[in-house]
Amino acid sequence: MSSVKQEKIRDHYDTIADIYDSHYDCTKGKSYHDHISGYVMDALPGSGELLDIGCGTGLFVDRYVRNGGTATGLDISRMMIERARRRCAGSVFTLGTADNLPFRDNSFDAVSSLLVFTYLKNPENMLAEAYRVLRPEGKIAVCTLGKKLLTRGIPVLYHISEKIRVKHVVMKNFGEHYYNEQEMRELFSSAGFESIRIQWCSFAHINMFDPLFSLASRMEPFVEKRVPQLAYNICVSGEKPEH
Ligand SMILES: C[S@@+](CC[C@H](N)C(=O)[O-])C[C@H]1O[C@@H](n2cnc3c(N)ncnc32)[C@H](O)[C@@H]1O
């Protein structure tokens, strides 16, 4: 049984929507988010209709629309959605949960989800729903913290941070689950996706102090290519088959 605390996640993001947005819109945060967004963009068609699951304040929706597509965002947090509406006035945003999408079958060309998957109580249901709403030959790309040496201590760190009341954008214990490569492949494959591709990305972390962040950013391409064991985000993409 999953220990993910969905109401706690929603309440948390309702409270920190503005802080979250400025956290990822400042120099280091933007560089980090742009980096992972690049991986997701590369796995999706550049134009067409996108659904971004757990869209937050609309950072990826904004990028996709600027690239020439149209996008809809869905999130459980009303305040994150409000912030997203302000950022992307021309896009549609809907309040809802990832495992029960309020959209018709075969209605999107692409589905994205960034930094959300670890929060899902039922990742199988999210992927089944994503498959249902995608058109045949539609693409999905999910980027999230993966299970790695560097991320193994995070749940404990978050637990302790919460106990000693550290005020931080994400340092809370939500019962998150991190997945390794094999688990992600099985989840995507069981949902029916084909052409599954898994890449590890991100070495520079937004919480690093500045000189260290710059150094890690410069090393990032090398780490991702040659030492992916040190990269901590997993980016998984796939395609809904034609028939
Ligand atoms: C770390 S933020 C990422 C936001 C955005 N994708 C981005 O890249 O900036 C996680 C987001 O997932 C949303 N979320 C968490 N669980 C969800 C669920 N079950 N269904 C929909 N959204 C969810 C939260 O409300 C929050 O906005």
pLDDT score, position 170: 57
Q: State if residue 119 touches ligand 1 by the CB under 6 angstroms criterion.
A: yes
**Which ligand 1 atom is nearest residue 119's CA?**
16
Q: Tens digit of pLDDT for each residue in 195-224?
A: 999 999 988 888 788 888 888 889 989 988
Cα 45 from Cα 22, distance rounded (Å): 28
CATH fold for domain 6-239: Rossmann fold (3.40.50)
What percent of the chain has a predicted confidence (pLDDT) above 70?
89
The answer to whether residue 158 scores a pLDDT higher than 70 is no
Q: State if residue 77 touches ligand 1 by the CB under 6 angstroms criterion.
A: yes
Q: State if residue 97 touches ligand 1 by the CB under 6 angstroms criterion.
A: yes
pLDDT score, position 164: 60
Q: State if residue 111 touches ligand 1 by the CB under 6 angstroms criterion.
A: no
Q: Write a three-state SS string for the chain.
A: CCCCCHHHHHHHHHHHHHHHHHHHHCHHHHHHHHHHHHHHHHHCCCCCEEEEECCCCCHHHHHHHHCCCEEEEEECCHHHHHHHHHHCCCCEEEECCCCCCCCCCCCEEEEEEECCHHHCCCHHHHHHHHHHHEEEEEEEEEEEEECCHHHCCHHHHHHHHHHCCCCCCCCCCCCCCCECHHHHHHHHHHCCCEEEEEEEECCCCCCCCHHHHHHHHHHHHHHHHHCHHHCCEEEEEEECCCC
The answer to whether residue 54 scores a pLDDT higher than 90 is yes
The alpha carbon dihedral of 39, 44, 46, 51 has a sign of negative
Model confidence band, residue 23 (pLDDT cutoffs 50, 70, 90)? confident
Contact 74, 53 (CB under 8 A): yes
The answer to whether residue 41 scores a pLDDT higher than 60 is yes
**Which ligand 1 atom is nearest residue 14's CA?**
25
**Which ligand 1 atom is nearest residue 17's CA?**
27
Lowest model confidence (mean pLDDT) among 15-29, 66-80, 154-168? 154-168
Q: Residue 240 CA to chain centroid, in angstroms? A: 19
Domain boundaries, the chain: 6-239
Could you tell me which residue, 11 or 172, shows the higher pLDDT?
Answer: 11
Nearest 10 degrees: CA dihedral of 218, 223, 226, 232? -160
Q: Residue 137 CA to chain centroid, in angstroms? A: 21
Residues in a beta bridge with 129: none
pLDDT score, position 96: 97
Q: State if residue 60 touches ligand 1 by the CB under 6 angstroms criterion.
A: yes
75 CA distance to ligand 1 middle (Å): 6
Nearest to 91 by CA among 76, 70, 108, 63: 70
State both tokens at 194.
């084909």
Contact 194, 239 (CB under 8 A): yes
Mean pLDDT of the region 68-95: 97
pLDDT score, position 165: 59
Contact 67, 41 (CB under 8 A): yes
- Count CB-CB contacts under 10 A for residue 226: 9
Model confidence band, residue 1 (pLDDT cutoffs 50, 70, 90)? very low
Mean pLDDT of the region 163-171: 57
Lowest model confidence (mean pLDDT) among 25-29, 54-58, 133-137, 146-150? 146-150
178 CA distance to ligand 1 middle (Å): 15
pLDDT score, position 124: 98
> Which residue bears the tokens 């929060």?
119
pTM for the whole structure: 0.91
pLDDT score, position 243: 78
